[in-house]
A and B are shown apart, each in its own frame.
Chain A
């Protein structure tokens, strides 16, 4: 079968919406099927890959950081990038203007800065494009 590529546009910030979890599931499933994936993170979604995220303990329950095993979206992004390092390939682009607005330039390794022009190019070169907007 001809090589397939799926482009996703994400807009939701981390820890706000089930859309982020579903997007990670779609990316993972695509990579497992050998499908290349492009992600264009726009608006709050640029914070999904923010390296400054930190897991936390739960003082109410008295649990430690290790006991909580708090999942961070940056860890999900890093894991997906590790899956898509070559073939299939995951390309993750953060909107540069959105990054600047949010002071979110410190992204995990493998994420690059771009612009909506990248999204336009990725969509044009893909088998299909799925936009997951905020509600």
Chain B
């Protein structure tokens, strides 16, 4: 099993192609791999519970993490995160993507 880390930096309300990450993550998950989507920069706008952008990935079992620095920059509090999204940080991201058999893709 390979671990895939998809790094989403784009605002879903600005970039239609964030659907690419959702579709890719779910497809990889369905093929039996561990998948994490790490939201950072404007990508964290999708993590708010007032949006429903991440529900399909949550239901598919994709791990959803949001960068704490990016959240703070945009005034998004941990209590505002959608169900299934956990606050994380850049140290955790670096540790994960430097493990063997891990693929990291930036979007």
Number of interface residues of A (CB under 8 A): 21
Contact A29 B90 (CB under 8 A): yes
Interchain CA distance A63-B102 in the complex, whole Å: 48
**Which B residues lie within 8 Å of A132 (CB)?**
106
Question: In whole angstroms, what is the CA distance A49 to B104 when docked?
Answer: 25
Partner of A6, one of B10, B40, B90, B94: B94
Q: Is B58 in contact with chain A by the CB < 8 A criterion?
A: no
Residues of A with C-beta under 8 A to B50: none
Of A22, A26, A129, most B-chain CB atoms within 10 Å = A22
Q: Are B41 and A33 in contact (CB under 8 A)?
A: no
Contact B69 A25 (CB under 8 A): yes
**Cβ of A131 and Cβ of B102 under 8 Å apart?**
no
Tell me if A106 is interfacial: C-beta within 8 Å of chain B.
no
Does B79 touch A at the CB level, under 8 Å? no
Are A18 and B9 interface neighbours, CB within 8 A? yes
Bound complex: CA A126 to CA B30 (Å)? 28
